[in-house]
Structures are given as structure tokens and as C-alpha cells.
A = this chain, B = another copy of it.
Amino acid sequence: MVDIIESLKAGDKRAAARLITKAENNEKEAFEILKKLYDNTGNAYVIGITGPPGSGKSTLTDKLVKEIRKKYNKKVGIIAVDPTSPFTGGAILGDRIRMQDLSLDEGVFIRSMGTRGHLGGLSKATNYAVKVLDIIGMDYIFIETVGVGQSEVDIVKTADTTVLVMVPGLGDDIQAIKAGIMEIADIFAVNKADRGGTDRLVAEIEMMLDLNPENTPWKPPIVKTSAVSNKGVTELLDAIKTHKKFLKETDLLKTKRISNIETEILKIVKEELMSLITQKENHDKRKRLAVDVYHKKIDPFTAADCLIKIIKGG
């Protein structure tokens, strides 16, 4: 354990990859290590890139990261949670090949998270992956996730700046899916802006922002991009930097991070408590209660109270 801690402090990427896998598998050692290295977190700036499938999130991320590398020579981590992302092995072969030059860059660390098979949940696993990349000294961390379900929204909520990528002409169904995610956008990127319908989409977003009853100090800018032809990427990066500056100057970055920490603590609490109930020794008791409820001997609320008593006593 001392070895891996030293390796992580030295910025070893292979040690980071191993630790993320351990955290994904819910291994206790991973959390012991993170606990010990907690002082080394909090330095990276986290950017969430979300949007519907087919909006070109990965290409946009790819271009943003290349711009950061070229202009500022900062270290960048990418966590791809989108199942259709070329980073995670989805999408078409051409995309995946295009991304390979990024993965050859020494100052870039790419980690894809499967959307299944995480003991303890995807949003938790992503959260720890961010911490690990933070520890090994990444300056910027991008989280790319498809904005469809609650768990994806939860993931992107932990970002400092969230970019919502939209494209003209995706139809109303897609709009309905991502309804819940509109509120968390700090910046809108209207991608594939060379397509028809761009101005209408921009107008729709503007209207929606004007309808927002809350008088917030930050009005999300709308940036037109065409990631494939590298248009608007500089402007989008500038918008991200402006938002970062705004958060720092208004102290909202601190507020946001403290609120995220509170959510994180509650998640750990929830999980520890649930692990108390789902312990093997309680398995039979749980099963028996469920059978009793099935046979209407007791109701589920009373059954739940029985389990709570076990936890409190344990």
C-alpha cells in the first residue's frame, strides 16, 4: 500500500489505473488509499461534457483537450462514461482511431467507465476516478457522459463547469429525455452548427433561459461549434475559462464544492448503512421478512422497521 501511495504521489498513471479498478470493484483497500491521499485532492478543475447520443460530445472533448495541451501545456484527464463514446469503445471505428493520438500524449490520461457492473454505482465509481486523477496531478479533468438518466445527471453534477452539447434537428423525443439536464448547464454548445436549424435551436435555448424564474448571477452562454472542422473550439474553451474565473471570484466554486462534498458524504453513509443490512448474517432475516410480507403476515413498513432496529443495535 505504501508503494502505490508513493507511485500516485509521483503521478504514476499505471498506479492510477489500478486504483480506479479497485474502486470500481468496491475493494476496501482503494478507499483506505484515497483516505490517506485526500490532502492531495482539490487541485484539478473538473469539466462535465454531456448531451444526447450523437451530439458529438467525444469529438468536442477531443478537440478541447488538444487545444488545452497545445496552448497551455496543462495535464488533462478524461473520464468517458458515455456508452456510445469512442473513448469507451463505442461509436464507429473511424472515431476511435481519431482519438488514438490523444492517448499517445504523455500529458493525457484517458479512462473509460463501463456503464454496467459497478458495485456501488456508476456515479460513485466516477467520483473516485476523478479523485484519483486529481491526486496524480491532472490540471483539468473532463467527464464525458450521455445525458439520459438520473445517474448520468448525478455524475455531471459533481463537475465545476458543465457543458451541455446539443445539435439541431434531433427531434422532440430526445428533447424530452434530456429535460432534467437543462438546468445544470453552465454553458450550451450547439454543435454541428454547420447544419440547418442551428439558429432556431439557439433561439429556443435563449427563450428557455429567459423563462428561468431564478435570478442567477451567471447566464449560460451559447457557443456554436463544429467539432469535426474544429470551429468554435477556442470560443468554447474561452467560455469555460470565463465560467471558472466567475466561480472563483464570486466564491461560488467553494459553495459548489462544499455542497458536492455534502452529497458525497451522504452517499458514503447510505452505502455503509446498506452494507450493514446486506451483510451475509442478515440475509436469512431479510428473506424471511420478505416472505412474511408476501404472505401478508406483516406489511413492508413494519418489516423495514425490523431491519432498522438491527442496524441500530449492530
Contacts and interface: CB of A to CB of B under 8 A. Distances in A.
Interface of A: 31, 34-35, 38-39, 42, 52-54, 83-84, 90, 115-116, 146, 148-152, 172-174, 176-177, 179-180, 254, 257-259, 261-262, 264-266, 268-270, 272-274, 277-278, 286-287, 289-291, 293-294, 296, 299-305, 307-308, 311-312
Contacts of A261: 290, 293-294, 300
Contacts of A254: 294
Given A286-B265, A290-B259, A290-B262, A296 B152 contact: no
B272 A38 contact: no
Contacts of A38: 296, 299-300
Contacts of A259: 290
Contacts of A176: 53, 83-84, 90
Given A176-B53, A290-B259, A270 B268 contact: no
Given A265-B304, A265-B307, 7 more contacts: A38-B299, A83-B176, A83-B177, A148-B177, A149-B150, A265-B290, A268-B304
Contacts of A174: 53
Contact of A257 (B31, B294, B308): B294
Given A261-B290, A274-B270, A293-B261, A83 B179 contact: yes
Nearest to A173: B53
A119 B254 CA distance: 27
A39 to B, nearest CB: 5
Nearest to A82: B176
A301 B150 CA distance: 24
B296 A39 contact: yes
